[in-house]
Amino acid sequence: MKTPNFMLKKAVCAVVGHRFVVSKKITSHITEYQCKTCKCELTTTETGHLDILTPEWKEINETLAQLYQKRHAVEQVA
Ligand SMILES: [Zn+2]
């Protein structure tokens, strides 16, 4: 029986660790990361810790990104 590809990738990550790259910059403190190997996602939280990027976090981050961009735009005009 052939091992499904994503199962193999998860196994690789379990052994050698994830290879995270920045997928989205939310604010100067909050960044979303994605593993290049298995595509799992993480986010930094307001406390500076890494957490699994749940749909709830995605929603929070989207709101934060909008607020951040708005504030940044105002700063650029002023
Ligand atoms: Zn991984």
Tens-digit pLDDT profile for residues 3-13: 778 788 888 99
Expressed in angstroms and rounded, the spacing between residue 1 Cα and the centre of ligand 1 is 23
Tens-digit pLDDT profile for residues 23-65: 999 999 899 999 999 999 999 987 889 999 999 999 999 999 9
Expressed in angstroms and rounded, the spacing between residue 56 Cα and the centre of ligand 1 is 21
Number of independent structural domains in the chain: 1
Dump the DSSP string for 1-54.
Answer: -PPPHHHHHHHHHHHH---EEEEEE-SSS-EEEEETTT--EEEE-TTS-EEE--
Expressed in angstroms and rounded, the spacing between residue 35 Cα and the centre of ligand 1 is 5
Expressed in angstroms and rounded, the spacing between residue 36 Cα and the centre of ligand 1 is 7
Domain that holds residue 51: 5-77
Expressed in angstroms and rounded, the spacing between residue 52 Cα and the centre of ligand 1 is 12
Higher pLDDT, 52 or 78: 52
